[in-house]
């Protein structure tokens, strides 16, 4: 898929709000993006690779393929590429008037999720229309964007009926989550998606990320990365395996593994081996 940029602003009426799409593009990321902010909302959808977003100078979020994040207006953010990445970016100017939807969205600096809303197919459809520019392609793109934003906003809005978790439910949930991620550490690698965890918790995939953020302060993707790095740390210190072998065993590319490990431990896997792996006699 080639890079594209929609040539002009687009007006949309969504959920009693008048929105302006001031930026719509697909691109292959070539370099990191320095800290910046916008006066509008921004939706990022990652189609391949991994990107670390740093929010308001300190909070780090890891996004991989088929993850998305909706950033609020005036939120500082920078993007660090962890490997070769590509994705979509949509700039959304919100109305000045305080609609109920906008007031609810404004309660958080960002919202993020794995794509359980079917966004990727619609984004690809927009890409196809942009390449062909057939008669009516602008109306088609406008319709697809309307559906995309409705699904994103519905995810971001609170559930109509909220539930308060009891102390026992809280500990039961923690036990299920801990056991789920420890399975990877024990070498059990099948059925390891956000949908699988959702099934174990008897909730929707959407609620999984909310639970993880509330109880651990991490997204599913970030929890998965921490689990892999915990396993890698053990293997580096207690086996004679090479960095390449360990990265493969942890289901990571070698480049992504080295960058992620250095980010967490402030040293490369090779340096960690020299410091902590016992010297063979």
Pick the CATH number of 159-281 from 3.30.420.40, 1.10.10.60, 3.40.50.720, 1.10.1040.10: 1.10.10.60
Query: What pLDDT shows up at residue 2?
Result: 46
Query: What pLDDT shows up at residue 122?
Result: 92
Query: What pLDDT shows up at residue 106?
Result: 78
Domain limits, the chain = 4-156, 159-281
- Token representation of residue 144: 């697809």
Q: Give the integer Cα–Cα distance in Å for 259 and 83.
A: 9
Contact assessment for residue 214 and residue 107, using Cβ atoms and an 8 Å cutoff:
no
Query: What pLDDT shows up at residue 164?
Result: 55
Query: What pLDDT shows up at residue 6?
Result: 60
The pTM of the full predicted model, rounded to 2 decimals, is: 0.63
pLDDT for 94-127, tens place per residue?
Answer: 876 667 788 778 778 888 888 877 899 999 998 8
The topology under which CATH files domain 4-156 is Jelly Rolls (2.60.120)
Segments in the chain below pLDDT 70: 1-8, 96-98, 158-167, 280-281
Query: What pLDDT shows up at residue 190?
Result: 79
**Taking all residues of the chain, what is their mean pLDDT, rounded to a whole number?**
85
């Amino acid at each position: 898929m080639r890079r594209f940029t929609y040539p002009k602003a687009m007006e949309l009426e969504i959920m009693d709000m008048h929105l302006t799409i001031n930026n719509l593009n697909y691109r292959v990321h070539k370099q990191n993006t320095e800290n910046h902010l916008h006066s509008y909302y921004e939706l990022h959808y990652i189609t391949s690779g991994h990107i670390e977003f740093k929010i308001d100078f300190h909070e780090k979020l890891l996004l991989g393929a088929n993850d998305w994040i909706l950033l609020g207006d005036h939120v500082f953010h920078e993007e660090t590429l962890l490997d070769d990445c590509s994705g979509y970016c949509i700039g959304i100017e919100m109305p000045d008037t305080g609609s109920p939807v906008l007031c609810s969205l404004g309660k958080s600096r960002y919202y993020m999720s794995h794509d359980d809303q079917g966004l990727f197919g619609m984004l690809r459809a927009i890409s196809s229309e942009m390449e062909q520019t057939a008669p009516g392609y602008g109306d088609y793109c406008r319709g697809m964007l309307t559906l995309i934003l409705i699904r994103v906003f519905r995810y971001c809005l609170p559930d109509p009926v909220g539930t308060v978790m009891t102390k026992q439910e809280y500990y039961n949930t923690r036990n299920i989550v801990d056991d789920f991620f420890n399975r990877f550490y024990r070498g059990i690698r099948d059925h390891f998606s956000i949908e699988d965890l959702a099934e174990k918790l008897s909730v929707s995939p959407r609620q999984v990320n909310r639970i993880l953020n509330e109880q651990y302060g991490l997204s599913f993707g970030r929890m998965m990365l921490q689990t892999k790095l915990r396993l890698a740390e053990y293997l580096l210190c207690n086996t004679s395996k090479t960095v390449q072998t360990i990265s493969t065993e942890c289901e990571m590319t070698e480049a992504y593994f080295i960058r992620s490990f250095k980010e967490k431990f402030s040293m490369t896997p090779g340096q960690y081996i020299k410091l902590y792996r016992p010297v063979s006699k």
